Structure 1
Amino acid sequence: MSLFLCFLFLLPLILIFLKYLQPSKWNLPPGPPKLPFIGNLHQRREIQLRNRRNLFQKYGPVVYLRLGIVPVVVISSKEAAEEVLKTHDLECCTRPETVGTRKISYNSKDIGFAPYGEEWRAMRKLSAIELFSTKKNQSFRFIREEENDLLIKKLTDSALRRSPVSLEKTLYTLVGSIVCRVAFGLNLHACEFIDEDRVVDLLHKSELFTRTSLFSNFFPGRTGRVIDWISGQNKRLENDFLELDTFFQNILDDHLKPGRTELESPDIIDVMIDQMRKQSKDGDSFKFTTNHLKGMISDTFLAGVSTSASTLVWAMTELIRNPRVMKKVQDEVRTKLGDKKERIREEDLNELQYFKLMVKEIFRLHPAAPLLLPRVAMSHIKIQGYDIPAKTQILINAYAIARDPKLWENPDEFNPERFLDSCIDYKGLDFELLPFGSGRRICPGMAMGIVMVELALLNFLYFFDWGLLEKEEADEIITGNEVPLDLVQVLRH
């Protein structure tokens, strides 16, 4: 009886395995050999960030993998990326769904993880016009400047006491404070239900939903869900989600409570609530719901904080380990802005050239999303002459493209001068540099993210000199691609 039950349990997996034994009718891209049932899952470590260029060098710019039963194509060249993101943008601009992304996006009611369709188009239109427009971004300028001023005062105190600071924590707290004020009208320095340190913890928890690999991600269907349940992975995610959901619900409740003081510049949630009320009167076919609101809160929190903060950490890392570039940037900043400036303003960024090249080089070397968010082919397409069947996941390896020796001289070197006579930009039109993606799914908050990174770096480089504790060699603390800096010495300039 037990053998019979075991057979029934495994029958769906056996049928799937037999299906994938059949010879393919497609001219699929090359890829590493696959094992029965698991495909290339045993090679996941080999295709991690630091090794993906090896995959590209061995099999070419379009590589076919099968992770469990899920077909995946990894794109690692400028030309192939352009075909996906421009030529076939419409055919492959939807997203795959996993347990984690479905949970963190409130059943795909956000912008980042939502499938392509009417709801996504409505949310994207709202974000472009009302949430992340140039006018809206400029209206929050005072918040970005105030939060940077506050941090400079705190760091000045540390510098006067010659005490070290945790750079990672400092930068995540700065970006978290800005994003929470801009997007949620939430002042972390005087909030009743959350504080600065807790925001950083919640951010790291939210990242688990996109990074955790559940069995059902590779073997979708009832069997996969049962194994997730038996293994306890679902329960662990659910516990983390409850904590995040409580935070998001508190933000929403704060906006909906009677007698709330209206802000001079309404935040993102105010705008969405206003849209919901208008739609209920106008009788539109598409209605914003509470899940749409929470999905937008989740999107903004996860993408808005982690991407900019990690970019800032890497920027300071590269500058500290490359004193020549650090000196050149600081010389320009302090010469152009003068030596006795009390506060930095966003218009000061317009006076700097080498500084802007340095930021561009950071976006090249350390894209916040080394693999752009996955897409799914909605119909059969061809990339570089290879067949990409419908329902195939497509990963754009922005990291490998930005370090392709065919495109970049000494690609692993931190060298802002490479952009001196170059018109290559990072805003989605040049496919050798894609830190924010391109096409329909380009990051909607790109302008906000860029100015947050630039303003924070300008403040840090103008007011302070930086160095490692006890004069350690920078290369000794740089390990692969992990966030490297913790405690650093900060001295008031």
Structure 2
Amino acid sequence: MTNNIISRVALGRKYDEVNKSGMNAKAIIEKLLSLLGTFNIGDYIPWLEWVNRITGLDTKVDKVAKELDIFLESVFEEHIIRNTKGEYHAGEAKDFVDVLLEIQNGKETGFSLQRDSLKALLVDSFAAGTDTTHTALEWTMTELLRHPRAMETLQNEVRGLVQGKAEIKEDDLGNMQYLKAAIKESLRLHPPIPLLIPRESIKDVKLLGYHIPAKTQVIINAWSIGRDLLLWENPEEFRPERFLNSDIDVKGLNFELIPFGGGRRGCPGSTFAIMVNELALARIVHKFNFALPKEEE
């Protein structure tokens, strides 16, 4: 589902079929995500990076990279042809590729963008957004199934606010405070990336009495922060109510809750990810009832 959503937003359609070259875009993305989750010893011990050649990891990465490059090139060519022929209808929303091509062809940025840079931006969208988004949704549903009262409270809120509507729209989400609280609580307990993307210190610094030399890799444990007894009352409990009267958000300004990181290097797609999760969860609990089998409760 999340792969299809990102495909439609970024590429204009789902691309889940086999194309003229016999390539299946969905399968390529799945292979990419699988490789990104593979343990790479060179990331932690650089002088052992040669091990990847023996295990075959480098070969697999090169193969998927070539397949992905061919696919993305075909996507760009398809959009260029559509633009040239004027096949877009009036009022039709532009996708991310259209925007990137406009930036590449325009002079507003003051710098040039090569095709490889545009492809890299698209790869980032899929790599960072597909797996993390559906992981967050799965954990939220898991916790709600384990806590029937929370599920009931959420369903009552959603169904009460959209009474009489066949489908929930993005505009309906604004007043769903328990929905937002449930997602925040799930992200606190189960951040999609427990150890945030590593950073590197640019100079020597002293922090809380510790000396951190320049070029030191720094890894932030978002999972541990979300379960810290000094920051949270009963941190192991799934209790969305803790966020109902709280200003704590996931935008990176409240350091006790940073599933998307923070600052200039925080996740640029966090707003999109939250919106997708809110809308998907609202529609699911609006239409369906869920419960664990009796013996598993």
TM score, norm. by length of structure 1: 0.55
Asked if 1 retains the 8 angstrom alpha-carbon contact of 2:136 and 2:191, the reply is yes
| More divergent stretch after superposition (438-447 vs 351-360) | 351-360
Asked if 2 retains the 8 angstrom alpha-carbon contact of 1:375 and 1:393, the reply is yes
How many pairs were matched up?
A: 290
**RMSD (CA atoms):** 2.4
Could you tell me which of 178, 190, 194 is aligned with 1:370?
Answer: 194
Provide closer, same or farther for how the CA distance between residues 217 and 303 of structure 1 changes in structure 2, counting only shifts above 3 A: closer
1:299 aligns with 2:127: no
Asked if 2 retains the 8 angstrom alpha-carbon contact of 1:184 and 1:251, the reply is yes
1:253 aligns with 2:77: yes
Provide closer, same or farther for how the CA distance between residues 377 and 209 of structure 1 changes in structure 2, counting only shifts above 3 A: farther
TM score, norm. by length of structure 2: 0.88
Give the Å deviation of 1:216.
3.2
Provide closer, same or farther for how the CA distance between residues 396 and 276 of structure 1 changes in structure 2, counting only shifts above 3 A: same
- In the alignment, structure 2 segments of 5+ residues that lack a partner are none
Provide closer, same or farther for how the CA distance between residues 333 and 283 of structure 1 changes in structure 2, counting only shifts above 3 A: closer
Provide closer, same or farther for how the CA distance between residues 244 and 472 of structure 1 changes in structure 2, counting only shifts above 3 A: farther
Could you tell me which of 180, 183, 189 is aligned with 2:7?
Answer: 180
1:411 aligns with 2:239: no
Cα deviation, 1:45-95, whole Å, max 9, x if unaligned, reads xxxxxxxxxxxxxxxxxxxxxxxxxxxxxxxxxxxxxxxxxxxxxxxxxxx
1:453 aligns with 2:272: no
Could you tell me which of 92, 104, 107 is aligned with 1:276?
Answer: 104
Q: Which has the larger radius of gyration?
A: 1
1:211 aligns with 2:23: no
Q: Which residue of 1 aligns with 2:296?
A: 473
Cα deviation, 1:263-317, whole Å, max 9, x if unaligned, reads 63221111111121224xx894x32111111101101111122221111111111
Identity %: 40
Cα deviation, 1:20-52, whole Å, max 9, x if unaligned, reads xxxxxxxxxxxxxxxxxxxxxxxxxxxxxxxxx
Q: What are the residue-to-residue correspondences of 1:78-477 with 2, within 5 Å? A: 173=1, 175-188=2-15, 193=19, 201-220=27-46, 224-257=48-81, 258-259=84-85, 261-262=87-88, 264-279=92-107, 284=110, 286-338=111-163, 340-468=164-292, 471-473=294-296
Provide closer, same or farther for how the CA distance between residues 238 and 420 of structure 1 changes in structure 2, counting only shifts above 3 A: same
Q: Distance in 1 between matches of 2:77 and 2:119?
A: 11
Asked if 1 retains the 8 angstrom alpha-carbon contact of 2:137 and 2:281, the reply is yes
Give the Å deviation of 1:420.
2.9
Q: Distance in 2 between matches of 1:199 and 1:327?
A: 39
Q: Distance in 2 between matches of 1:451 and 1:315?
A: 14
Amino acid at match of 1:380: D
Amino acid at match of 1:434: I
- In the alignment, structure 1 segments of 5+ residues that lack a partner are 1-172, 475-493
Q: Distance in 1 between matches of 2:3 and 2:40?
A: 28
Asked if 1 retains the 8 angstrom alpha-carbon contact of 2:25 and 2:71, the reply is no
Provide closer, same or farther for how the CA distance between residues 294 and 260 of structure 1 changes in structure 2, counting only shifts above 3 A: farther
Cα deviation, 1:347-382, whole Å, max 9, x if unaligned, reads 211222222211221121111221111111111112
Asked if 1 retains the 8 angstrom alpha-carbon contact of 2:18 and 2:25, the reply is no
Give the Å deviation of 1:226.
4.1
Q: Secondary structure at the match of 1:444?
A: coil
Q: Distance in 1 between matches of 2:13 and 2:236?
A: 40
Give the Å deviation of 1:213.
3.2
Q: Distance in 1 between matches of 2:144 and 2:175?
A: 20
Provide closer, same or farther for how the CA distance between residues 183 and 337 of structure 1 changes in structure 2, counting only shifts above 3 A: same
Cα deviation, 1:188-228, whole Å, max 9, x if unaligned, reads 47x5629xxx665444422244333334334435xx45443
Q: Which has the higher strand share?
A: 1
Q: Secondary structure at the match of 1:382?
A: strand
Asked if 1 retains the 8 angstrom alpha-carbon contact of 2:155 and 2:286, the reply is yes
Q: Distance in 2 between matches of 1:353 and 1:416?
A: 10
Give the Å deviation of 1:331.
1.3
Q: Distance in 2 between matches of 1:336 and 1:261?
A: 39
Asked if 2 retains the 8 angstrom alpha-carbon contact of 1:176 and 1:199, the reply is no
